[in-house]
Amino acid sequence: MDNTQNWTEDRVERLKKLWSEGLSASQIAAQLGGVSRNAVIGKVHRLSLPGRAKAGGTTSARPQKRASVSQPSRPATFTPRTVTRTVTRSAGATMLKEEVEVEVHEHLEMVVDNNVVVPIFKRVPLIRLTERTCKWPLGDPLKDDFAFCGNDSPDSSPYCTYHQKLAYQPSAERRRLR
DNA sequence: CCCTGATTCGC
DNA sequence: GCGAATCAGG
């Protein structure tokens, strides 16, 4: 038996729901399983569901704003303890605006001191993770706001450059320069 | 390159 | 009706 059932009522319902919630075709395909994003899009059209206003365009995701970073040069007394970011995500007709306060620890000081600044998390849900998105967990996995960093991770590394440093901390400061 | 949806067309 | 291939765009 093969459960490669076609579009059952149930699946169509879920498709409608997810599509109306603003999820992308690939996301929906991932959730339904067993179908490609093309299949989802094709079905959406056949159902005459309202498409996204503009084609191809990040209709519901990818807010990529430039963070106003401080000067490249590093003043001695600079201690960003908390960073408050306002992330806006549009999901179909629903616009979500959430403020995210990120507690920055001593790690950041170290990193910032290294002139590497990337501590802005995108907070992407599990479904949106790809091979190139940082999989550093944010928040409590049991809570509803649990997500992952989601920043671009170079290479095929599981973490972005920032979280790589946190994940793979040197077991000890062997290197004693000067 | 990554991603998005839109369309076509053989099945 | 279905969806891979293709197209078109950010």
CA A42 to C1' B11, whole Å: 15
**CA proximity to A85, closest of A111, A126, A118:** A118
Q: Which of A166, A111, A160, A108 is nearest to A131 (CA)?
A: A160
pLDDT tens for each residue of A75-102: 333 344 444 444 444 443 334 444 344 4
Compute how many other C-beta atoms are within 10 angstroms of the C-beta atom of residue A80.
13
Looking at the C1' of nucleotide C6, which residue has the nearest alpha carbon? A38
The mean per-residue pLDDT over the stretch A155-166 comes to 77
pTM of structure:
0.43
For residue A154, is pLDDT > 80? Answer: no
**C-beta neighbour count of A140 within 10 angstroms:** 9
Give tens-digit pLDDT for A19-58: 988 888 998 998 888 899 999 999 999 998 877 765 444 4
